[in-house]
Structure 1
Amino acid sequence: MRILIADDHELLRDTLNLYISNEADFEIDTAADLDGARALVEGAEAPYDLVLLDFSMPGMNGLEGLRTIMEMANARRVALISGTATREVAEEALAAGAAGFLPKTLPAKSLVNAIRFMAMGEQYAPLDFMRAAEEEAAASHPLAEALSLREMQVLEGLTQGKSNKEIARDLDLREPTIKLHVKTLYRKIGAANRTQAAMIAKEQGLF
């Protein structure tokens, strides 16, 4: 597999190169900015199976750099790596067709597995990063601060018009447990029924 790693931090490039080069079937090239990455992709004798772009490196200009490389014939799949990007950026990149999003906090072994996963045609985003960012955003909301994470998940189900049984299945819980969460969250947000709870959540911009 041919991989291109573009990042302006030399230490990170070298570290990634070291880890990935230990895999017998990886061939690695590196670049320090978007212009360097674009030149390597344009001049490549064979297409790269995966191009990994640092979101914050010179030339990226937000997600424009991602889209630029994605349009090039010699870049089969393109993914973002970042230590600063938000969940919203990750979601936008994935929606634009990126092969994945890798936080720089990922352990080395997970990083190598994710790169292999994406190079083989799958889309990757670490669930814990996406959820943690989501929970952090929710926790800053006044209504969310009154609810536990589980109550928030149940409330989200109510806003989607799901029954207690459907919510229980989604969360891998028993239906009586969902009923208890529903009753508690009604009291906390001042709702009398499911419709009112959903309306309050939507009016407050929670979901």
Structure 2
Amino acid sequence: MARPRPPVRVALVDGYDVVLTGLAHMFDQYRDRIVVCEIDANAELSDEIDIVMYDSFAQPESDQSELAKLVANPRAARVVVYTWNFHPALVDSALEQGVHGYLSKTLPARDLVAALETVHAGEQVVSEPPRAGTSTRALDWPGKSEGLSDRESEILALITQGKSNADVASLTYLSPNTVKSYIRNIYRKIGASSRTRAVLWGVAHGFTPDHHRIDHWLGGP
């Protein structure tokens, strides 16, 4: 009788507690196949990791040096990007940096688990680009309870980090007009009358990332 395969050991890398917790809970029914080994970078990591799963929520996706550092990290056998942004330039750049998977946040849990197992087996996996308007309904993100979509929350998180509209458009590969439309919807939903008010709301509602967690995996302190 064949011996059962051990579960894939996954480390989740993101600067937002609610995003990490929601992602970890996606694997609750698949604990025999996926083990989440790390969420908190403040704890010393002794396990070897099969896959580092980099959730790109409100991270500077155009800064591909981050992905290169993750790929070069000897503690991780493989690296996958977990994102809603499938702009061809981003996908091509990530693959050139050596990532082993580029996975969509619209994947249901069973398909996400299967994709991670395929990556662990040595194959490269790139999801089909999500259809326009498709949301990651199974996950949590800052502002979800206030009615913000995942993309609206990501844009608000970038604004809270001090990014201009031009910066947001560049980082998300959205047009300036699309960014302005998202921002108008954000203001309406959170009751903000100005950018300053929106930033203050963001700071008060968990939109400030914990960069220490990201730095930990990138070789920082």
TM-score by length of structure 2 reads 0.48
After the TM superposition, list the runs of 4 or more consecutive aligned residues in structure 1 that deviate by more than 4 angstroms: 56-61
Taking CA–CA contacts closer than 8 Å with sequence separation of 6 or more, which of the two structures ends up with the larger relative contact order? 2
In 2: Cα distance, 1:55 partner to 1:18 partner: 18
TM-score by length of structure 1 reads 0.51
In 2: Cα distance, 1:2 partner to 1:112 partner: 11
In 2: Cα distance, 1:31 partner to 1:11 partner: 11
- Deviation of the 1:130 alpha carbon: 8.5
In 2: Cα distance, 1:124 partner to 1:57 partner: 23
In 2: Cα distance, 1:16 partner to 1:52 partner: 10
Say which one has the larger Rg. Answer: 1
State the partner residue of 1:4: 11
Percent identical? 23
CA contact (8 A) 1:55 1:63 kept: no
Q: Does residue 19 of structure 1 match 2:32?
A: no
State the partner residue of 1:52: 53
In 2: Cα distance, 1:57 partner to 1:65 partner: 13
Note the alpha carbon deviations across 1:16-71, whole angstroms, 9 max, x for none: 21222422142203447xxx4xx77xx53232000011234457762111111111
Distance change in 2, residues 1:131/1:93 (3 Å): farther
From 11, 28, 35, the counterpart of 2:36: 28
Note the alpha carbon deviations across 1:140-190, whole angstroms, 9 max, x for none: xxxxxxxxxxxxxxxxxxxxxxxxxxxxxxxxxxxxxxxxxxxxxxxxxxx
Q: Which runs of 5+ in 1 are unaligned?
A: 133-207
Q: Which runs of 5+ in 2 are unaligned?
A: 1-7, 133-221
1:151-162 matched pairs, under 5 angstroms: none
Note the alpha carbon deviations across 1:181-202, whole angstroms, 9 max, x for none: xxxxxxxxxxxxxxxxxxxxxx
Distance change in 2, residues 1:113/1:61 (3 Å): same
CA contact (8 A) 2:37 2:47 kept: no
Q: Does residue 129 of structure 1 match 2:136?
A: no
- Deviation of the 1:15 alpha carbon: 2.8
- Deviation of the 1:95 alpha carbon: 2.5
State the partner residue of 2:161: none
CA contact (8 A) 2:37 2:49 kept: no
